[in-house]
Amino acid sequence: MRTMIAAGLLIGAFAPTGQAEETDKWVTLFDGNTLEGWNYDDSYWSVKDGAITGQTTPGHLLEKYNTFCVLADREPGNFQLRLKYKIVGGNSGVQYRSAVIDDKKWIVGGYQADIDSTPTYSGINYHERGRSILADRGQSVTIAKDGSKSVVQFADKEHLQELVIKQEDWNDYLIVARGNHLQHFINGVLMSEVIDHQTEKGATKGVIALQAHAGPAMTVQFKEIALLELD
Read off the pLDDT of residues 177-220 as tens digits, 9 standing for 90 and up: 999 999 999 999 999 999 999 999 999 999 999 999 999 999 99
Q: What angle do CA 83, 114, 25 make, to 5 degrees?
A: 30
Task: Give residues with Cβ within 8 angstroms of 148, minimum separation 6.
Answer: none
Q: How many residues does the chain have?
A: 231
Structural domains for the chain: 2-229 (2.60.120.560)
Name the pLDDT band for 1 (thresholds 50, 70, 90). very low
- Cα separation of 143 and 8, whole Å? 20
pTM across the whole model: 0.91
Task: Look at residue 22 in the predicted model and tell me its pLDDT.
Answer: 59
Read off the pLDDT of residues 59-115 as tens digits, 9 standing for 90 and up: 999 989 999 999 999 999 999 999 999 999 999 999 999 999 999 999 999 999 999
